Amino acid sequence: MSEDLFSVIDPDSAHRILGSGTPGQLVDVREAGEVDTVRVEGALNLPLSRLKELAGRLDPKVPVYLLCRSGSRAASAASQLKALGHRDVFVVGGGLNAWMSSGKPVVHGERKVWSLERQVRFVAGFLAFGGAVLGFTVSPRWFYLSGFVGAGLMFAGVTDICTMALILARMPWNKGSGGSCGR
């Protein structure tokens, strides 16, 4: 992902700009289930998995400040928004983790859903380990499962496209309560 397409802004600066009355749109690109656990008050939730579909909710002439858990999904969202004609796109460096670490206010919900990155690591590890165990105990053909998962992780690392994350984002536990895409 090229940072030429967007600027990275630290949480302190983003919070100061957004609180100053200067026009700006704070957008959280995490999935709805993640937003239900902790969110920034006033941030619009447009999940990365549905960004192209929901991007019309944003004014392309007003600066957009993108937030995710750590910053990588926000960078992907920034590229998409630039391609859709948004001029001023900023990624909050370090994401929600850095926002909270710097003492900026958040709202905690009652749901406890793992971040999408954590879900991907768990499922990939489970499939790779399961493939190895089944390969040793049932049939060597199960080793292909471990190889397939490893190849998928390498593809995700090279292209920054994670098919497993896209699939997990559509799971019911990541949908949130009551359609929080409007937040």
Look up residue 178 and give its amino acid: G
Supply the pLDDT for residue 24.
95
The most confident of the ranges 34-48, 103-117, 163-177 is 34-48
Domain boundary pick from 97, 112, 127:
112
> Quick one: 31 and 94 in the same domain?
yes
For 107-122, b/e burial (b = at least 16 CB within 10 A) is eebeeebbbbbebbee
Domain hosting residue 76, numbered range: 7-112
User: Which of 3-7, 114-118, 137-141 holds the top average pLDDT?
Assistant: 137-141
Domain contains 136: yes
Residue type (1 letter), 54? L
Give the Cα separation of 29 and 160 in Å (integer): 16
Q: pLDDT digits over 117-161, tens only?
A: 888 999 999 999 999 999 999 999 999 999 999 999 999 888 878
What's the whole-number mean pLDDT along residues 31-57?
91
The verdict on 126 and 89 lying in the same domain is no
8 Å CB contact between 73 and 160: no
Token pair 């536990």 in the structure block, residue: 173
Both tokens of 168, joined, read 């997990």
Average pLDDT, the chain: 89
Quick check: is 181 catalytic? no
Residue 1 lies in a domain: no
pLDDT at 183: 36
Does residue 55 belong to any structural domain of this protein? yes
Domain's final residue, options 112, 138, 154:
112
Tell me, yes or no, whether 137 and 70 share the same domain: no
Distance CA 37, CA 109 (A): 5
Same domain, 15 and 73: yes
CA distances from 64 to 1, 46, 86, 122, 136 (A): 18, 12, 8, 32, 51
Domain-embedded: residue 81? yes
For residues 141 and 55, membership in a common domain is answered with: no
Predicted TM-score (pTM) of the model is 0.70
Query: Which residue among 112, 142, 166 closes a domain?
Result: 112
Residue 2 within a domain: no
105 and 150 in a single domain? The answer is no
Do 23 and 37 sit in the same domain of this protein?
yes
Residues 33 and 89 in one domain: yes
Residues with Cβ < 8 Å from 131, sequence gap 6 or more?
142, 143, 144, 145, 146, 147, 148, 149
pLDDT confidence band for 60 (50 / 70 / 90): very high
107 and 120 together in one domain: no
Q: For residue 4, what pLDDT is reported?
A: 61
Judged by DSSP in three states, 89 sits in strand
Instruction: Considering the candidates 14, 43, 46, 68, report the single residue annotated as catalytic.
Output: 68
* pLDDT given for residue 176 in this prediction: 62
Q: What is the CA radius of gyration of the chain?
A: 18
